[in-house]
């Protein structure tokens, strides 16, 4: 199994600012992902964080708005840029092995409120 | 592409009653199926998963799910609900298509009445 830690766990952000969320895994994982969970909604994949290269973004998400880094197998960051109230969400980091049947583990989430 | 449909955004049961949360999937290749639980103000925790082999899968906290290919279903059950089971439950699917990430259903909020 893997334990995934995120920080900050919560934050209140001013409109127009940017915030970087950090994700640390206690063991090496091949795959890391970032999801968004808007209030009362399900999880939507933002991007796959690729070690040492640009992240792979899902439709509707762009690098300028959500830049992602993954310098090694246990650490990744997600930045939410130029925030607006619509960005108020839970952002979840997750990770797991390569095989599609492997368990994906999730962090506790970072709860962002944009005012 | 894979997709998941969870029937019923809210389910309410009495303590001690059977819990049944429904999940149907769509996949052009053999799927891998997961149930996650999210307690209030927390992240997601894996309840159980189906990959290959036995179609009846047992998970944590007394939950189990049965993979039925003919019905494209993976419903979650628990014989006797406990107050601590109140949470949001998500069904998810992945497959060996190169897209490794999970695709989630819309979630079902389980309420347990005393």
pLDDT band at B2 (very low <50, low <70, confident <90, very high): confident
pLDDT (tens digit, 9 = 90+) per residue, A13-67? 999 999 999 999 988 888 999 999 998 889 999 999 999 889 999 999 999 999 9
Residue A17 CA from chain centroid, whole number: 17
Count CB neighbours of B89 within 10 A: 23
Q: Give the residue among A94, A58, A2 at the shortest CA–CA distance from B38.
A: A94
DSSP per residue over B61-95, as a string? GG-EEEEEGGGTEEEEEESS--GGG-EEEEEEEEE
CB contact A42 to B (< 8 Å): yes
Contact B96 A42 (CB under 8 A): no
Q: What is the pLDDT of residues B63-114, one digit of tens each?
A: 999 999 999 999 999 999 999 999 999 999 988 777 788 999 999 999 999 9
Please judge whether B42 and A33 are an interchain contact, meaning their C-beta atoms are less than 8 angstroms apart.
no
pLDDT score at A43: 93
A16 to chain B nearest CA, in Å?
Answer: 26
User: Is A49 at the interface with chain B, CB within 8 A?
Assistant: no
| Strand B19-21 relative to strand B64-68, pairing | unpaired
Radius of gyration of chain A (CA): 13
Integer Cα distance of B35 and A5 in angstroms: 21
């Amino acid at each position: 199994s893997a334990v995934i830690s995120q920080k900050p766990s919560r934050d209140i952000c001013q409109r127009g600012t940017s915030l970087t969320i950090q994700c640390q895994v206690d063991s090496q994982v091949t795959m890391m992902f970032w999801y968004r969970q808007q209030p009362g909604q399900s999880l939507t994949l933002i991007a796959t964080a690729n070690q040492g290269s640009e992240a792979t973004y899902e439709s509707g998400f762009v690098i300028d708005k959500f830049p992602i880094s993954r310098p090694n197998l246990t650490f990744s960051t997600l930045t939410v840029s130029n925030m607006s109230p619509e960005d108020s969400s839970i952002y979840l980091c997750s990770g797991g092995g390569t095989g599609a049947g492997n368990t994906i583990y999730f962090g506790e989430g970072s709860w962002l409120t944009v005012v | 592409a894979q997709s998941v449909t969870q029937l019923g955004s809210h389910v309410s049961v009495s303590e001690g009653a059977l819990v049944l949360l429904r999940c149907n999937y769509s996949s052009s290749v053999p799927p891998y199926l997961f149930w996650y639980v999210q307690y209030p103000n927390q992240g997601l925790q894996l309840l159980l998963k189906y990959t290959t082999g036995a179609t009846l899968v047992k998970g944590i906290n007394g939950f189990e799910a049965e993979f039925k290919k003919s019905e494209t279903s993976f419903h979650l059950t628990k014989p006797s609900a406990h107050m601590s089971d109140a949470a949001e439950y998500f069904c998810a699917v992945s497959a060996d298509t190169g897209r490794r990430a999970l695709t989630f259903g819309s979630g079902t909020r389980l309420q347990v009445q005393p």
